[in-house]
């Protein structure tokens, strides 16, 4: 049997630390469900002491997900560890993840502590965490700029105190594959008791080497890789888990290691994470970029048509990005729709999400002759996104616009005080309808970002609008899908407003 590499997903904790990203507990739960369906080994669900929202997200995920390890982050403070333990109370397999900085620069300027003080605190907190959980991970923050001999001493002590995983973070994305491999080897060979713990790595991408560093670590003996979907995270992000997974699977001949992650879930999960975080995936991104399996040059196209493997080392179908053979139209029923969704790699969606997506599909099939795979993907992602309590819902709207007069919009919303109709003029049709919405809700929101994309080609393509608004100094992301681009834009704006309202933030 080959040794196995475990995958620790931190999309919901380190990934959520990306600038401008804020996921609510419901959105985190949807992502966590998809991660569990993809069979990652550990989900780091949040940093419970950081906010009430993080605490709630960790508790809900811990209660709901079975058969998977759910992890919560804590500093070495007593209160952090108690709060993490409380948030994990409902978990089948809880893990507390304790971290402290170990590099001279962090210890001197941030902690103002000596090596001995850091070591003592690390040991005390691992012991405290072990009182609550049999599974405790210890991370030496900024490990790759720390003294390797100190790391070995520290890991020896925390393993003795009960740590089950020792993690080597390249917190600032500074190391190189050769250095990372040497550090892992040193820890593996020189730490007494290392056979009682798993060696893990956690790489950031500041120099674009996070995936290469993670793979070098694995080749040197690390057996847990931490990362995020689409590589999102602080600054330049974390190691993209889908890249590490596919490298280990595609080059099993080279690495000789086992992975139990199901790659078919990657495509759907990547899209859902991108939608919910509002972080687009660059078209040429490895594995999940729109162009990752497109062949433009004539020579390449000719080769692929003759034999796919001439220019493709992986199949898009293997990662849930292929086309399914089932054709959906107006007469397709719930069963066919469910099968299509599964074929597209979305696993274990809750019934209410499937029901919402199916209703939207029926609606679309009435307006469009053939519903494509990309349409279905957009509807499913919209349904995952939806479900925010609707303080305001759309009843009807009308917009009049042209090149010979000022656009005017009228909107009727159902709000907390009943139905309200308002009208407004604007610089364009969307400006007009957004102004009418502001009047109807009685609030003004700052529009930070707005984008509109066609989901598929063709004049009857679904339009997908995405907005980011600011309310009470917090960003809220909204998304809407419709064959009518003004309707998609209205839905996106209302979605963001409803999220702001449910977080207790009105506009100005
Ligand atoms: O990058 C880092 O050092 C971290 C730790 C908390 C593991 O995210
Ligand atoms: Zn990190």
Of 385, 405, 421, which one is at a domain's C-terminal end? Answer: 385
**Residue 99 is assigned to a structural domain of this protein:** yes
Of 359, 385, 411, which one is at a domain's C-terminal end? Answer: 385
Of 385, 415, 434, which one is at a domain's C-terminal end? Answer: 385
Q: Domain count for the chain, please give it.
A: 3
**What is the 317 CA–ligand 2 centroid distance (Å)?**
31
Around ligand 1, the residues with Cβ closer than 6 Å are 14, 99, 139, 141, 169, 171, 202, 204
Q: Are residues 215 and 351 in the same domain?
A: no
**Closest atom, ligand 1, to C-alpha of 14:** 8
**Residue 292 is assigned to a structural domain of this protein:** no
Place of tokens 């401008």: 20
Q: Are residues 94 and 214 in the same domain?
A: yes
Tell me the whole-structure pTM to 2 decimals. Answer: 0.89
Q: Is 3 exposed, middle or buried (0-12, 13-18, 19+ CB in 10 A)?
A: exposed
**Residue 52 is assigned to a structural domain of this protein:** yes
- Alpha carbon distance 33, 43 (integer Å): 10
**Residue 296 is assigned to a structural domain of this protein:** no
Q: Which residues surround ligand 2, an ion (CB under 5 A)?
A: 14
28: CATH: 3.20.20.70
Q: Are residues 30 and 154 in the same domain?
A: yes
**Closest atom, ligand 1, to C-alpha of 204:** 1
Domain hosting 128: range is 6-277
**What is the 171 CA–ligand 2 centroid distance (Å)?**
5
Q: Are residues 378 and 407 in the same domain?
A: no
Q: Are residues 415 and 486 in the same domain?
A: yes
**What is the 169 CA–ligand 1 centroid distance (Å)?**
6
**Residue 80 is assigned to a structural domain of this protein:** yes
**Residue 507 is assigned to a structural domain of this protein:** no
- Alpha carbon distance 240, 272 (integer Å): 15
pLDDT tens series, the chain, 508 aa: 889 999 999 999 999 988 878 888 989 999 999 999 999 999 999 999 999 999 999 999 999 999 999 999 999 999 999 999 999 999 999 999 999 999 999 999 999 999 999 999 999 999 999 999 999 999 999 999 999 999 999 999 999 999 999 999 999 999 999 999 999 999 999 999 999 999 999 999 999 999 999 999 999 999 999 999 999 999 999 999 999 999 999 999 999 999 999 999 999 999 999 989 989 999 999 999 988 887 777 777 777 788 888 878 898 888 988 776 778 888 889 999 998 898 888 877 888 889 999 999 998 888 877 788 888 988 998 888 666 788 999 999 999 999 889 999 999 999 998 999 999 999 999 999 999 999 999 988 899 999 998 887 777 788 999 999 998 888 899 989 898 999 999 999 999 999 999 888 776 6
Residue with CA nearest ligand 1 atom 1: 171
Q: How far is CA 301 from CA 25, 334, 367, in A?
A: 44, 37, 34
Residue with CA nearest ligand 1 atom 5: 141
**Closest atom, ligand 1, to C-alpha of 73:** 6
**What is the 364 CA–ligand 2 centroid distance (Å)?**
42
Q: Are residues 101 and 169 in the same domain?
A: yes
| Helical (H) or strand (E) element with 6 | strand 6-9
Phi, psi torsion values for 53, nearest 5 degrees? -65, -40
Torsion of CA 138, 142, 143, 147, to 10 degrees: -130
**What is the 296 CA–ligand 2 centroid distance (Å)?**
37
Q: Are residues 108 and 194 in the same domain?
A: yes
Q: Are residues 371 and 253 in the same domain?
A: no
**What is the 59 CA–ligand 1 centroid distance (Å)?**
21
**Residue 345 is assigned to a structural domain of this protein:** yes
Mutate to test the pocket of ligand 1, among 11, 12, 15, 139 (most ligand atoms within 8 A of CB): 139
Mutate to test the pocket of ligand 1, among 8, 96, 141, 165 (most ligand atoms within 8 A of CB): 141
**What is the 505 CA–ligand 2 centroid distance (Å)?**
29
Q: Are residues 202 and 344 in the same domain?
A: no
443: CATH: 3.30.160.270
Q: Are residues 371 and 231 in the same domain?
A: no
**What is the 239 CA–ligand 2 centroid distance (Å)?**
9
**Residue 313 is assigned to a structural domain of this protein:** no
Ligand nearest to the CA of 167: 1
Ligand nearest to the CA of 139: 1
Q: Is 227 exposed, middle or buried (0-12, 13-18, 19+ CB in 10 A)?
A: buried
CA atoms within 13 A on the CB side of 352: 7
**Closest atom, ligand 1, to C-alpha of 169:** 3
Residue with CA nearest ligand 1 atom 2: 171
Q: Are residues 462 and 338 in the same domain?
A: no
Q: Are residues 402 and 380 in the same domain?
A: no
């Amino acid at each position: 049997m080959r040794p196995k590499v475990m995958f620790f997903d931190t999309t919901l904790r380190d990934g959520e630390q990306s600038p401008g990203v804020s996921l609510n507990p419901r959105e985190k739960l949807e992502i966590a469900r998809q991660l569990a369906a993809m069979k990652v080994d550990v989900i780091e669900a949040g940093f419970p002491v950081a906010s009430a929202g993080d605490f709630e997200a960790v508790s809900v995920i811990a209660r709901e997900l079975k058969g998977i390890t759910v992890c919560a982050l804590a500093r070495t403070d007593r209160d952090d560890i108690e709060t993490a333990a409380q948030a994990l109370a409902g978990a089948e397999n809880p893990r507390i993840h304790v971290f402290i900085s170990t590099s001279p620069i962090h210890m001197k300027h941030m902690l103002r502590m000596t090596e001995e003080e850091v070591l003592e605190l690390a040991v005390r907190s691992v012991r405290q965490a072990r009182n609550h959980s049999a599974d405790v991970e210890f991370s030496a923050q900024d490990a790759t700029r720390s003294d390797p001999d100190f790391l070995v001493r520290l890991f020896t002590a925390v393993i003795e105190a009960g740590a089950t995983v020792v993690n080597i973070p390249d917190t600032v994305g500074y190391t190189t594959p050769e250095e990372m491999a040497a550090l892992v080897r040193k820890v593996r060979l020189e730490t007494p008791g290392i056979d009682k713990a798993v060696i893990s790595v956690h790489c950031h991408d500041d120099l674009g080497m996070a995936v290469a560093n993670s793979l070098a670590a694995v080749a040197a003996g690390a057996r847990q890789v931490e990362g995020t979907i689409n590589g999102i995270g602080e600054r330049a992000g974390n190691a993209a888990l889908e890249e590490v997974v596919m490298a280990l699977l595609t080059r099993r001949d080279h690495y000789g290691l086992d992975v139990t992650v199901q790659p078919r879930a990657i495509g759907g999960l990547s899209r859902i994470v991108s939608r919910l975080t509002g972080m687009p995936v660059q078209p040429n991104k490895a594995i999940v970029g729109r162009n990752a399996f497109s062949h433009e040059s004539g020579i390449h196209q000719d080769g692929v048509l003759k034999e796919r493997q001439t220019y493709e080392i992986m199949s898009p179908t293997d990662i849930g990005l292929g086309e399914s053979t089932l054709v959906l139209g107006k007469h397709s029923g719930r069963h066919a729709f469910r099968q299509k969704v599964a074929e597209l790699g979305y696993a274990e969606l809750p019934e209410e999400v499937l029901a919402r997506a199916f209703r939207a599909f029926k609606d679309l099939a009435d307006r469009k002759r053939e519903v494509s795979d990309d349409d279905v993907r957009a509807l499913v992602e919209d349904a995952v996104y939806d479900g925010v309590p609707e303080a305001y819902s759309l009843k009807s709207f009308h917009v009049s616009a042209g090149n010979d007069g000022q656009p005017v919009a009228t909107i009727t919303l159902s709000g907390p005080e009943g139905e309200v109709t308002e009208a407004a003029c604007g610089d364009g049709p969307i400006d007009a309808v957004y102004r009418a919405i502001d009047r109807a809700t009685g609030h003004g929101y700052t529009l930070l970002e707005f984008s509109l994309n066609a989901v598929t080609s063709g004049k009857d393509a679904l339009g997908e609008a995405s907005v980011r608004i600011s309310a009470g100094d917090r960003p809220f992301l909204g998304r809407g899908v419709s064959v009518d681009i003004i309707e998609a834009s209205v839905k996106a704006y209302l979605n963001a407003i409803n999220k702001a309202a449910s977080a207790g933030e009105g506009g100005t």
